[in-house]
Amino acid sequence: DTEVTQTPKHLVMGMTNKKSLKCEQHMGHRAMYWYKQKAKKPPELMFVYSYEKLSINESVPSRFSPECPNSSLLNLHLHALQPEDSALYLCASSQDPGTANNSPLHFGNGTRLTVT
């Protein structure tokens, strides 16, 4: 079982809806990530939070809004999405950046998002 929990597992939403993806980890990791993965493609980085502050935004459209309420939680708020935003959204976490020697990212099972 993965130690990074993502909810929901599946989400279908219309282009005018507002929804949120949630991610939780209790490994004490201080870096958390959102990745987007289209079918038959590798994951692409969207956002990185380091010590609950946004450290990387890979020029993601503003209809995706990340939030890190505390060190264990990471949300991705969705609004006015397009059908091409349909994908698998993966959350990940890793040990304290800057103190651990390139520790691996631990991924959740992902949320399969369909925008209609």
Partner 1 sequence: AQKITQTQPGMFVQEKEAVTLDCTYDTSDQSYGLFWYKQPSSGEMIFLIYQGSYDEQNATEGRYSLNFQKARKSANLVISASQLGDSAMYFCAMRPDPNFGNEKLTFGTGTRLTIIP
Which parts of this chain interact with partner 1 (CB under 8 A)? 2, 31, 33, 41-45, 48, 50, 55-56, 88, 90, 92, 94, 97-102, 104-110, 112
Least CB distance to partner 1 at residue 74 (A): 14
- Specify the residue, 111 or 115, whose C-beta has the smaller distance to partner 1: 111
In whole angstroms, give the CA distance from residue 39 to residue 37: 7
In whole angstroms, give the CA distance from residue 65 to residue 75: 8
Q: How many CB atoms lie within 10 A of CB 92?
A: 24
Backbone angles phi, psi at 104, to 5 degrees: -70, 155
- Specify the residue, 66 or 110, whose C-beta has the smaller distance to partner 1: 110
Least CB distance to partner 1 at residue 52 (A): 14
Least CB distance to partner 1 at residue 37 (A): 8
Least CB distance to partner 1 at residue 85 (A): 17
From the CA atom positions of the chain, what is the Rg in Å?
Answer: 14
- Specify the residue, 42 or 83, whose C-beta has the smaller distance to partner 1: 42
Choose among 69, 40, 41, 43: nearest CA to 54. Answer: 69
